[in-house]
Structure 1
Amino acid sequence: TGEPIPADLIAKIVAAENYQAAYFNVRQLLYGLNDMAWHSIDKPFEGDVELFERTAMAPAQVLPVVEGAAMSPAFSHIFAGGYAAGYYGYKWAEVLAADAFSLFKEKGIFNPEVAEAFRREILSKGGHEHPMTLYVNFRGHKPETKALIEKMGLEK
């Protein structure tokens, strides 16, 4: 239409940015726990899939379990496409991104020294050193969850 988006609509969009962030976070943790459990067994599985999932996801389960429901048979993401035992990587990537970006926010988004340190310590080294060593060289400490918790609006 060519009309600007009304300010009240923009305010609603911004207010909804972290809608259900806690639920989404827990869901990702549940998926990661389930993935790691399946890829940690050392012999062919012949048990109850529903019970296996419930046990694997119990440490992060905050909502009631739906009886008779098992996600594993339909969760091809963890069994096909190269993500076997790696689903946790989505949440870990969020932790790394938020923690790294917090340094940019602290020192200035366009701070050339921070940008150069990121290029020098992370981007240019690739797989030549352990990833945690590279990250600590850039950030000055191991990744912390604080920035992600704040980004998701869950610090309250």
Structure 2
Amino acid sequence: GHALHQMLSDVTYGFISGTSVARDFVELPSQLYEHWLEVPSVLEAHARHWQTGEPMPADMLERLLAAGTYDQGFATVEFISSALVDLEFHTGAAPTDPMQRQAEVLEALGMPRAIRMRHATPQFAHVFSGDGYSAGYYSYMWSEVMDADAFAAFEEAGDPFDPEVAARLERFILSAGG
């Protein structure tokens, strides 16, 4: 998705091309393409046995697709807790003890002890990266909302490869720039 976003950019000024868009939007193209990995015809064509080349059995394919939402509630809580700690670290003065501040945020959220943040603070590179994701980790989840909406256009057309919807995707998202 990022590569297509970059290669298909059709803008006058390169500094607004491809991934040079608002942080709230940058993950949409890359995450959108993940939806095609759940299209049965794509899996039937590409998910094949490494030795025999046989396609994945239909019952296994069905179970694989059904497992896509397994534990999604836990994953969402892990993600949101990381995003909220990230936002808290960038609100007001820097915490003198980040681990203590993390514990306070999680306590205030009522974070279940059985679930951990997706990234513990010492390893949470997005918080300290300086590459535009500081106070922006939430953008991955926001992009999930937008990419679900974008893929719904293909579903509403009745074809995950609908040429008219694909042309709109290219025109209004992939080539438009920031």
Bin of the TM-score, shorter chain as denominator length: 0.5 to 0.7
Alignment RMSD: 2.8
TM-score by length of 2: 0.56
Report the number of matched residues: 122
Distance in 1, matches of 2:172 and 2:59, equals 43
For structure 2, the 5+ residue unaligned runs are 1-50
Shift of 1:61: 4.2
Query: 1:64 and 2:113 equivalent?
Result: yes
Residue in 1 that maps onto 2:99: 49
* Counterpart position of 1:135: none
Q: Distance in 2 between matches of 1:95 and 1:46?
A: 34
2:156 aligned residue: 106
In structure 2, distance between residues paired with 1:116 and 1:12: 32
How many angstroms does 1:112 deviate by? 2.9
Corresponding residue of 1:138:
none
Aligned to 1:118: 169
Structure 1 unaligned residues grouped into runs of 5+: 128-156
1:3 positional shift: 6.4
Counting aligned pairs with the same residue, the percent is: 34
State the distance in 1 between where 2:120 and 2:114 align: 11
**Hey, what's the Cα distance between the residues in 2 that align with 1:98 and 1:16?**
18
Whichever residue aligns with residue 114 of structure 1, its letter is V
Aligned to 2:87: 36
For residue 37 of structure 1, report the CA deviation from its aligned partner: 0.6
AA aligned opposite 1:73 = P
Aligned to 1:75: 124
Is contact 1:30-1:61 (8 Å) kept?
no
Counterpart CA distance in 2 for 1:54 and 1:71 is 11
Call closer, same or farther: CA 1:125–1:59 in 2, change over 3 Å: farther
| 1-structure distance, mates of 2:104, 2:114 | 11
2:136 is matched with which residue? 86
Partner Cα separation in structure 2 for residue 25 and residue 71 of structure 1: 15
